[in-house]
Structure 1
Amino acid sequence: MRIAVAGGTGTVGRHVVDVARQRGHEVVGLSRAGGVDLATGRGLDPALAGVETVIDVAGINSTATKKAVDFFTNASQNLLAAEKRAGVKHHVVLSIAGIDNARSGLYAGKLAQEESVRHGDLPWTILRSTQFHEFVPLVVKVASAGPVVVVPKMFTAPVAAREVAEALVDAAEAGPRGRIPDLGGPRSEQLAGLVRTYLQRTGQRKKVVEAPFPGPMGKAMRSGALIPAAGSAVGRQTFLDWLDELPR
């Protein structure tokens, strides 16, 4: 199968590309480096020539609600329109578990993306997953102020990016199935505890301070509403397993 991957150089995307190629699929990357801009639609038509399935794992580094909604709406609509012109048969998209309970910031953008996909003219599959293990070092990077890391009060069930990628390629191979079961990690954890463990394991001396995130998103974080419900798919790799694989 010829598969195009939007966001193929990102945390999950690079695994999607690798898994798909290992399974014998032909993979096309959709990235600005390759002359494709999802936000404007530039370069999409030639890139999608002969593509049967698109896996969309593209993202944006912003928590601003309007910016996230605008990006995911425009990118999805441009991508879907180009897919229709190219004769693509299946659109697979990665979303986030629990976003119905947190309609702001990045989550609002992903909800807008899901709506675009559901109301588009192409058969689709949506997989929602929890945060990846790589979310923890990202929090340390963006939330550090000198020797302090300010961490939102949050329950999460981090999952391996590789396992999310495998599930996305599985979905591509299975054909359109609509909303499939959410995927979460094997353990429910408090984000502050994960950050402390990461700092200790990587030799960083920082104090972790928990602070409640405001609004509906903060409430969802604190209540555990971002953890998949019973009956969802469960990954294998724990956060500690992931840490053990990091270079020393």
Structure 2
Amino acid sequence: MRTAVAGGTGLVGRLVVEAARERGHEVVVLARSEGVDLTTGAGLADRLTGVDAVVDVTNRGTQKRSEAEAFFGSVTRALLAAGSEAGVGHHVALSIVGIDDVDTGYYAGKRLQERLLAEQGTRQPPVPWSVLRATQFHEFALQVLHFATVGRFSLVPRMLSQPVAAREVAQALVARAEAGPVGRAPDLAGPEVHQVVDLARRVSRARDLGRRVVPVRVPGRAGRAMRSGALTPTGAGPRGRVTFDEWLAGLSGGR
């Protein structure tokens, strides 16, 4: 199976490339370093020749709604247009659990991405698709220490999370690509629910980062939703097996 990975040089993208190759796929990486501009579609046509499935794990770290929608909208439109032209049989996109209930700028971009897949309009032929929503990765506890800082202090939002190993997400995306299009797939989450503030403190101690974690109540409806567990799954679905403790032990051992 010839599989293209959009964003194949990022955190999850590298793991998707690895998982696909382990399962015997021929992998095509779609990234600027490979001569592809995913926001304009430049270079896509040649790279998608003979591709059976596209796995989109592109990302743009912004909370500005206009920037998030511009990025995810442009990338998705470009991939769908080129995929339709090339006869791609399956487009798989990674999304996030709970984005319908937490209205942030970044999540608005992810919601647009999902809508563009579902509402392909008059495009002929349409590209069959799947969306796999996953919870935050274990790595989120490390990343959040650097989102908002004042000296040694890290301002970390109070929120519930059910984190999952990024490697397990990558493996699930490849398996979904192989299994065929289903539209919205069951949500993927980790094995345990945690307070992100607690996880951030544990990462700081394990890595000797010296960060002082200050819990912050995000105001408004979005903040209330995050604290109440809106970013955790509400129904049945696949669950990862790697716990945060196991991930953290590996992270600590590699410092």
For Structure 1 versus Structure 2, the TM-score category normalised by the shorter chain is over 0.9
User: Which sections of structure 2, spanning at least 5 residues, go unmatched?
Assistant: 121-125
Distance 1:124 1:206 in 2: 42
Paired residues of 1:159 and 1:238 also in contact (CA < 8 A): yes
Q: Secondary structure at the match of 1:193?
A: helix
Distance 1:170 1:33 in 2: 26
Equivalent position of 2:236 in the other structure: 231
The one-character-per-residue Cα deviations of 1:124-172 (angstroms, maximum 9, x if unpaired) are 1110000111111111123222111100111001100000011101101
The CA RMSD over aligned residues, in Å, is 1.0
Equivalent position of 2:60 in the other structure: 60
Equivalent position of 1:27 in the other structure: 27
Equivalent position of 1:178 in the other structure: 183
Distance 1:215 1:56 in 2: 31
Distance 2:220 2:54 in 1: 34
Equivalent position of 1:169 in the other structure: 174
The one-character-per-residue Cα deviations of 1:7-35 (angstroms, maximum 9, x if unpaired) are 11111111100010011000000001111
Equivalent position of 1:146 in the other structure: 151
Paired residues of 2:145 and 2:213 also in contact (CA < 8 A): no
Q: Secondary structure at the match of 1:149?
A: strand
Higher deviation after alignment, 231-240 or 185-194: 231-240
Indicate yes or no: 2:139 matched with 1:134.
yes
Which AA in structure 2 matches 1:53?
A
Distance 2:40 2:49 in 1: 18
> For this pair of structures, how many residues does the alignment match?
248
Q: Secondary structure at the match of 1:205?
A: coil
Paired residues of 1:104 and 1:216 also in contact (CA < 8 A): no
User: Which sections of structure 1, spanning at least 5 residues, go unmatched?
Assistant: none
Equivalent position of 2:200 in the other structure: 195
Equivalent position of 2:245 in the other structure: 240
How much does 1:216 deviate? 3.3
Indicate yes or no: 2:45 matched with 1:45.
yes
Equivalent position of 1:16 in the other structure: 16
Paired residues of 1:127 and 1:179 also in contact (CA < 8 A): yes
Equivalent position of 1:4 in the other structure: 4
How much does 1:104 deviate? 2.3
Distance 1:55 1:153 in 2: 32
Q: Secondary structure at the match of 1:54?
A: strand
- The 5-angstrom pairing of residues 105-124 of structure 1 reads 105-120=105-120, 121-124=126-129
TM-score calculated relative to the size of structure 2: 0.95
Paired residues of 1:102 and 1:108 also in contact (CA < 8 A): no
Distance 2:83 2:224 in 1: 37
TM-score calculated relative to the size of structure 1: 0.97
